[in-house]
Amino acid sequence: MAEITQRSRPLDTARDEGGICCDSAVCYGASGYHRFPERRTHAAGRDKRDVTKQRKRREKRHTFLHLVPVSSQSYNGHDTTVLSWAVGQSRGQGLQVSADTVTVEAEGTYFIYSQVLYKDTTWVMGHVITKRLKGAETKLMKCLKSMPSNVSQPLNTCYTAGIYFLESGSTLQLSVPRKSAELILTAHTTFMGLFNI
């Protein structure tokens, strides 16, 4: 307890009474003081290339893509409506968008999210996010929502999100399993995105 009290005394008092007291990089004791080497020496002499490498690594880790809708295309033969996208915000080179698909160039674990605003009289609406890789097709997420019984304003949103490992070369597509689906295609109501975690 005496040692703790002694450390908390002011520098001059501790030095005068022969105690030990540290301030920043200097320690005072009974036999004078000792200056510790500055810790900033290594950081100050750090090569600029190291900083650039760290920045690139950080950007790679935090690659993201947020998409806003451009249009929707109905495919009557498959009874689906597919959305086409434009980049709303992005960072990094690991994700690329081309019309209605997102291509993953940097494999990793991604948080994927999507929302669609429906304006349709069909009693249930929803959408599916599908992953395609080397001919194989996997449905990653589905979102279903009951539509309101008020036919004059049949509006409802469906939001879904999940975490998945995505291999390099895989593509993602959002589709509504209903032909000629009535959708509200505005950036704040219908969107899709993913980011590396």
Threshold 0.75, pTM exceeds: no
Band of pLDDT at residue 129, cut at 50, 70 and 90: very high
Q: Residue written as tokens 């980011």?
A: 195
Q: Is the pLDDT of residue 118 over 80?
A: yes
Q: What is the pLDDT of the chain when averaged over all its residues?
A: 79
DSSP 130-162: EEEETTEEEEEEEEEEEPPS-TTS-EEEEEEEE
Q: Is the pLDDT of residue 1 over 70?
A: no
- Condensed to tens digits (0 to 9), the pLDDT of residues 17-55 reads 444 455 444 454 544 555 545 555 455 555 666 666 666
Q: Is the pLDDT of residue 100 over 50?
A: yes
pLDDT score recorded for residue 153: 78
Across the range 53-65, mean pLDDT stands at 68
Token representation of residue 164: 């998945």
pLDDT score recorded for residue 152: 77
Across the range 105-114, mean pLDDT stands at 94
Q: Is the pLDDT of residue 109 over 70?
A: yes
Q: Domains in the chain and their CATH numbers?
A: 71-196 (2.60.120.40)
pLDDT score recorded for residue 154: 82
What ranges make up the beta strands (E) of 46-182? 64-75, 80-91, 95-98, 101-104, 108-119, 124-133, 136-146, 155-166, 171-176
Token representation of residue 177: 């399993």
Q: How far is CA 22 from CA 12, 33, 34, 36, 40, in A?
A: 11, 9, 9, 10, 18
> What does the DSSP 8-state code read for residue 38?
P
pLDDT score recorded for residue 5: 44
Q: Is the pLDDT of residue 92 over 70?
A: yes
pLDDT score recorded for residue 46: 57
Mean pLDDT check: name the lowest of 66-70, 116-120, 126-130, 171-175.
116-120
How far apart are the C-alpha atoms of 143 and 166, rounded to whole Å?
20
